[in-house]
Amino acid sequence: MTTLAELAKLIRSKNAGPFQLTVDIMFADEETYERVLAGGAINAERLAAIYGVEAERVRVIPYAAAHSIKVTLPRPVVSGDPGDGDTMGGQQYAPLVDLEVDRPPAPGGDGSTRSATADQSTVREQCE
Amino acid sequence: MARELRLLAPTSLLGAGFRFESLRTAMAWQPDVMGCDAGSTDPGPYFLGSGELYFSRDAMRRDLEHMLLAARGAEIPLLIGSAAAGGTNAQLAVAVELAEEIAAKHGLHFRLGVVSCEPPRDYLRRSLSEGRIRALANAPDLDEAVLERSENIVAMAGVEPFHAALDSGADVVICGRCSDAAIFAAVPTKEGFPPGLAWHAGKILECSAACVVQRKYADPLFAWVRDDCFVVEPPNPDYRCSPVSVASHTLYENGSPYELVEPSGTVYSDESTYEPVSDRAVRVAGSRFAAAENVTNKLEGAELVGYQAIVIGAVRDPVIIRQLDSWLEGVRETIQSKAEGIFGAAAVEGMTLTVRRYGIDGVMGPLEPTPSPAHEVCLVIEVTAASQKIANAVAKAAAHVAAHYAVPEYSGLITALALPYSPPELPRGPVYRFTLNHVLEPADALDPFGLELIDL
């Protein structure tokens, strides 16, 4: 069984503003990126379960230009709120390091690209 | 000849530092504009709530002094945004004071434009009742009471207040809270360069050399903006940009790599191309901008939660670690009743007592997938109360209670907690929380902002 860390060159997480968490899973080359993307292991349902949020609010965004998959979701706890243990969201990628990637896609089709466009209308952000 | 505008970002955050040698190289490349971001919501709500500085005044002075001397020497505009930390008026005043001190020290003369970004509360109340404030994704509820109790509320400026300051003859602009990318998009958009390229270049520049292949420390980034593309290159010879490293930067601390929502519109990078110009410079083209019908300014606010004191201690005994949950439950109840005994139930009402358990689930909390204890566990006992006096006193009691709380297996007095500090309690001062994730749609783009011109 292959883990995500074995295939990725970098997995990182960070706030995208205090109310949102974003995870970047970056690969060294297009081939590995395509392999993981096509495998469907990175899908909204799976990430939603890990972070305790609704799957509808998780966006999985393939980004070929940087051989990366981005995952953006509401922060389980708002940055700096009582109970938050990670102000910048910097260590929240940890459960993904050992994520098993070579497994069939989630039930209900190819989860890897779901919500990349469908959820754009429901999640409005504004950058810094 | 094709026109070109050269932009220089000496560092990612005013006070983060940069190599002077790199700045000197960059100045030899003859920039037309110098810019620097000076704040963020990233370090949490404290800086917006308190108005305190993130980096020290000395670190900020060091960077600003080099920048002002270089920019005034070359007679190019210097634009500073989100000064300093949260962009509040108090923090803005510190940045302005520093600029004045540096100008006096070196005999520099220039027009300083100061953009304040704390809209008056009655303006915000009116905007709320007029439906000019809208919630963004995951926003907490907003009503007049939230506006009232927030310590500070700032509106995030776009390029518009920078344009107003530059049109008024400002050589140097120091702005309160603003879009990071706007600092660098301001001059190119004013001079009619394609806004998609101007904003995309701004997004990359705002973190200075963060888009290099291997960032070791904060250092400058340089960009050449043209009508059909922009090129980025780090002046530091130890750094280089690659197409992937530059493309990767649109991922950074951003919800989507394809769209950046800015006050005056949205930048789309889905058709952007990244090509090497050399082994260290990258050309970006194809970025588009869709202008919004009306300018919107993100609002950020923070309110006081209370005053905090903490105790850091560690448990190494496997017998205690095995029963940590029940042991901590007993500790917590005992501390609570001691606090009530000292101050009375009414005074400690609303007091919160939490224990973080590093070595078990300190980082992920209830989301921790493997909450199996390490061989030692660090406990951070947090007391948050209505006053610092209560928080300190309860923390003192908490350290004592936890240090000697009984373990059923043992008879006789034990010391169950290794306390690394004397005194064990650490007063943390006021703590805040974010209150707003909303946008304001002003009738005029400059309504939320103030502009003051100071001739130095």
pLDDT of residue A103: 54
pLDDT of residue B349: 86
| CB contact (8 A) between residue A126 and residue B136 | yes
Tell me which chain A residue has its CA closest to the CA of residue B182.
Answer: A128
| CB contact (8 A) between residue B434 and residue A15 | no
pLDDT in tens, A11-35: 999 999 999 999 999 999 999 999 9
pLDDT of residue A128 exceeding 60, the answer is no
pLDDT in tens, B34-53: 999 999 999 999 999 999 99
pLDDT in tens, A58-108: 999 999 999 999 999 999 999 999 989 999 999 999 999 999 987 544 555
3-state secondary structure chain B: CCCCEEEEECCCCCCCCCCHHHHHHHHHCCCCEEEEEEECCCCCCHHHHHCCCCCCHHHHHHHHHHHHHHHHHHCCCEEEEEEEECCCHHHHHHHHHHHHHHHHHHCCCCEEEEEECCCCHHHHHHHHHCCCEEECCCCCCCCHHHHHHEEEEEECECCHHHHHHHHCCCCEEEECCECHHHHHHHHHHHCCCCHHHHHHHHHHHCCHHHHCCCCCCCCCEEEEECCCCEEEECCCCCCCCCHHHHHHHCCCCCCCCCEEEECCEEEECCCCEEEECCCCCEEEECCEEEECCCCCEEEEEEEEEEEEEEEEEEECCHHHHHCHHHHHHHHHHHHHHHHHHHHCCCCCCCCEEEEEEECCCCCCHHHCCCCCCCCCEEEEEEEEECCHHHHHHHHHHHHHHHHCCCCCCCCCCCCCCECCCCCCEEEEEEEEEECCCEEECCCCCCCCCEEEEEEC
pLDDT of residue B95: 97
Taking only Cα atoms into account, the Rg of chain A, rounded to an integer number of angstroms, comes to 14
Q: Quick check: B364 contacting A, CB < 8 Å? A: yes
How far does A123 lie from chain B, in Å, by closest CA? Answer: 5
Query: Which of A61, A66, A125 has the CB atom closest to B261's CB atom?
Result: A125
| CB contact (8 A) between residue B437 and residue A17 | yes
The band of B1, judged by pLDDT with boundaries at 50, 70 and 90, is: low
Q: Quick check: B255 contacting A, CB < 8 Å? A: yes
Q: B 300-339 residues with CB below 8 A of A? A: 305
Q: Which residues of B touch A58 (CB under 8 A)?
A: none
Rounded to the nearest integer, the mean pLDDT of chain B is 96
Q: Quick check: B148 contacting A, CB < 8 Å? A: no
Query: Which of A26, A52, A72 has the CB atom closest to B367's CB atom?
Result: A52
How far does B353 lie from chain A, in Å, by closest CA? Answer: 10
pLDDT of residue B206 exceeding 60, the answer is yes
Q: Quick check: B217 contacting A, CB < 8 Å? A: no
pLDDT of residue A102: 77
The stretch B191-214 carries a mean pLDDT of 95
Q: Which residues of A touch B289 (CB under 8 A)?
A: none
Tell me which chain B residue has its CA closest to the CA of residue A30.
Answer: B244
The stretch B234-238 carries a mean pLDDT of 96
pLDDT in tens, B59-113: 999 999 999 999 999 999 999 999 989 999 999 999 999 999 999 999 999 999 9
Tell me which chain B residue has its CA closest to the CA of residue A128.
Answer: B179
Q: Quick check: B244 contacting A, CB < 8 Å? A: yes
> Half-sphere exposure of B129 toward its Cβ, with a 13 Å CA cutoff?
7
Taking only Cα atoms into account, the Rg of chain B, rounded to an integer number of angstroms, comes to 26
pLDDT of residue A123: 40
pLDDT: which is higher, A110 or B243: B243
Q: Quick check: B354 contacting A, CB < 8 Å? A: yes
pLDDT of residue A1: 80
User: Lowest mean pLDDT: which of B249-253, B296-300, B363-367, B442-446?
Assistant: B249-253
pLDDT of residue B254: 86
Tell me which chain B residue has its CA closest to the CA of residue A92.
Answer: B364
Q: Quick check: B44 contacting A, CB < 8 Å? A: yes
Q: Which of B230, B241, B239, B237 is nearest to B281 (CA)?
A: B241
Contact call for residues B348 and B385 (beta carbons, < 8 A) = yes
pLDDT of residue B53: 95
| CB contact (8 A) between residue A122 and residue B137 | yes
Query: Which of A87, A123, A126 has the CB atom closest to B43's CB atom?
Result: A87
Tell me which chain B residue has its CA closest to the CA of residue A68.
Answer: B248
% of chain B at pLDDT higher than 70:
100
pLDDT in tens, B395-440: 999 999 999 999 999 988 899 999 999 999 999 999 999 999 999 9
The band of A113, judged by pLDDT with boundaries at 50, 70 and 90, is: very low
Q: Which residues of A touch B150 (CB under 8 A)?
A: none
pLDDT of residue A124 exceeding 70, the answer is no
Please provide the size of chain A in residues: 128
The band of B350, judged by pLDDT with boundaries at 50, 70 and 90, is: confident
The stretch B160-173 carries a mean pLDDT of 98
pLDDT of residue A122 exceeding 80, the answer is no
The stretch B184-195 carries a mean pLDDT of 97
Q: Which residues of B touch A72 (CB under 8 A)?
A: 255-256
How far does B262 lie from chain A, in Å, by closest CA? Answer: 6
Q: Which residues of A touch B138 (CB under 8 A)?
A: 19-20, 74-75
Look up the ipTM and state it. 0.88
pLDDT of residue A96: 96
> Half-sphere exposure of B59 toward its Cβ, with a 13 Å CA cutoff?
14
pLDDT of residue B412: 86
| CB contact (8 A) between residue A126 and residue B252 | no
| CB contact (8 A) between residue A86 and residue B258 | no
Q: Quick check: B81 contacting A, CB < 8 Å? A: no
The stretch B152-177 carries a mean pLDDT of 98
pLDDT of residue A117 exceeding 60, the answer is no
3-state secondary structure of A73: strand
| Preceding peptide of B386 cis, ω within 30° | no
Q: Quick check: B131 contacting A, CB < 8 Å? A: no
pLDDT of residue B388 exceeding 90, the answer is yes
Cα(B59)–Cα(A14) distance, integer angstroms: 25
Query: Which of B136, B139, B433 has the CB atom closest to A80's CB atom?
Result: B433
How far does A45 lie from chain B, in Å, by closest CA? Answer: 15
pLDDT of residue B138: 84
Rounded to the nearest integer, the mean pLDDT of chain A is 84
pLDDT of residue A107: 52
The stretch B163-184 carries a mean pLDDT of 98
The stretch B299-307 carries a mean pLDDT of 97
